[in-house]
Amino acid sequence: MSELFNWQIIWGVALGALAFGYLLGSIPFGLLLTRAAGLGDIRSIGSGNIGATNVLRTGNKKLAAATLLLDALKATAAAVIAYAFFGKDAGTLAGFAAFLGHLYPVWLGFKGGKGVATYIGTLLGVAPWMVLVFAAVWLSTAKISKYSSLSALVATLVIPVVLWFINEPRVALVMAIMTAISWWKHEANIKRLIAGTESRIGQKG
């Protein structure tokens, strides 16, 4: 009976962390900020995504930066709060759910962003030093390739491997799943990279 009760608690905490993270992650800051600024519906321009990259297409760099920051911090908040109350595993689950909430927000018909900011935000919440690894890989890849999308894709590949080698197998597994989803969401970018038609950093038109 005691063992059953313990499993009920574990499942309750896991489901609670997932629900809490998803609700935070599904807040569409890109859409809310652009509407508040009088720029209309961000989903009607560019890629139709609600993330910072598409917000940048409005020409408002400050708004894009604010979107990037808030999209990252909503995942961080989910992870940190769940971590503080129920431990690292719950924090990791909450961050993962925030990532899913951003990609598939229930309020927007499950059509959201690509999740790079929330990926970083989750790392910040459960493995802060890994954000520096992500940044180093992103910057070095960007310097060589001049492709923002490729830089993010390479960085997300490196993160689970490094986490595994520093003995964080459960976090590595969750981040690996997030990496796979992120790559799937970047399918169009990958096709353009292969075709040589992906826009480079700083490229206009």
Model pLDDT, residue 5: 47
Model pLDDT, residue 3: 55
pTM of the model: 0.89
Question: What average pLDDT does the segment 22-35 reach?
Answer: 91
- pLDDT class of 40 with cuts at 50, 70, 90: confident
Encode pLDDT of 176-204 as tens digits.
999 999 999 999 999 999 998 888 876 65
Q: Which of 99, 95, 197, 189 is nearest to 150 (CA)?
A: 189
Three-state SS string over 120-149 comes to: HHHHHHHCCHHHHHHHHHHHHHHHHHCCHH
Q: Which residues of 2-39 are buried (b: 16+ CB within 10 A; e: fewer)?
A: eeeeeeeeeeebbebbbebbbbbbbbbbbbebbeeeee
Q: Which of 69, 59, 93 is nearest to 79 (CA)?
A: 93
Residue with the two structure tokens 């409005």: 58
- pLDDT class of 58 with cuts at 50, 70, 90: confident
Domain range summary for the chain, segments of one domain joined by +: 1-114, 127-205
> Which 8-state DSSP code applies to residue 114?
-
Encode pLDDT of 80-116 as tens digits.
999 999 999 999 999 999 999 999 999 888 888 889 9
Q: Which residues of 156-189 are buried (b: 16+ CB within 10 A; e: fewer)?
A: bebbbebbeeeebeebbebbbebbebbeebbeeb
Model pLDDT, residue 205: 47
Angle, to 10 degrees, between the axis of helix 129-145 and the axis of helix 148-165? Answer: 140
